């Protein structure tokens, strides 16, 4: 069958030879998937700058969907999304300025993270229709069936094993 090449960006494989690999790596589908992957790691300032230069997508604003998806040349961000993004950029700038000034910024502790997580979970539970306390799993009566263990694997009796008279200290 021969070697196969697996493309992580496209999540597909094909027979590995020079022609097929070159055709795939220059293909539109691969280039789009690769761009989407790298877009996940862009910083907020670059995203904000790019989105502010784009005009809003009329189709997306009217219907909430766009036929072009992530390939659309217009912006799919609402005003609220842009405000959140600009607030994030401002927060990152302030943090960088404080670090440059040498301000002592305490790192977040695990306790802070656990507190925030507990608050999120409690908020999620209060919003859901599930009962607050899950019922623990219980076996039905008589299950699992009790098996007799060989004497070597049995637990000792409450007073301990009897010691034969020939092994007692005298």
Query: How many domains, the chain?
Result: 2
Mean confidence (pLDDT) of the chain: 81
Task: Quickly tell me which residue has 């040498």 as its tokens.
Answer: 102
Residue 91 lies in a domain: yes
35 and 49 co-located in one domain: no
58 and 98 co-located in one domain: yes
Q: Is the per-residue pLDDT at 68 higher than 60?
A: yes
Residues 78-131: tens digit of each pLDDT? 889 899 999 989 988 888 887 787 766 566 677 777 888 888 888 776 665 555
19-23, 72-76, 131-135, range with greatest mean pLDDT:
19-23
Residue 76 lies in a domain: yes
Q: Is the per-residue pLDDT at 7 higher than 90?
A: yes
Q: Is the per-residue pLDDT at 48 higher than 70?
A: yes
Count CB atoms within 10 A of the CB of residue 74.
Answer: 14
52 and 93 co-located in one domain: yes
Q: Is the per-residue pLDDT at 70 higher than 70?
A: yes
63 and 13 co-located in one domain: no
Count CB atoms within 10 A of the CB of residue 44.
Answer: 17
Question: 47 to each of 33, 53, 55, 113, 167, how far by Cα in Å?
Answer: 18, 10, 14, 27, 82
What's the average model confidence in pLDDT over 4-14?
A: 92
CB 79 within 8 A of CB 51: no
């Amino acid at each position: 069958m021969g070697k196969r090449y697996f493309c992580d960006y496209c999540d597909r494989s094909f027979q590995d030879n020079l022609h097929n690999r070159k055709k795939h790596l220059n293909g539109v589908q691969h280039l789009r998937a690769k761009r989407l992957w790298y877009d996940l790691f862009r910083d907020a300032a670059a995203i904000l700058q790019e989105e502010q230069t784009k005009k809003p997508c009329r189709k997306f604003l009217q219907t909430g969907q766009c036929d072009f998806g992530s390939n659309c040349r217009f912006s799919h961000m609402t005003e609220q999304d842009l405000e959140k993004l600009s607030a994030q950029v401002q927060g990152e700038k302030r943090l960088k300025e404080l670090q440059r000034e040498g301000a002592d910024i305490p790192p977040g502790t695990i306790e802070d993270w656990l507190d925030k997580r507990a608050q999120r979970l409690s908020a999620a539970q209060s919003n859901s229709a599930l009962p607050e306390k899950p019922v623990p799993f219980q076996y039905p009566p008589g299950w699992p069936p009790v098996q007799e263990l060989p004497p070597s694997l049995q637990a000792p009796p409450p007073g301990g094993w009897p010691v034969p008279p020939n092994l007692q200290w005298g």
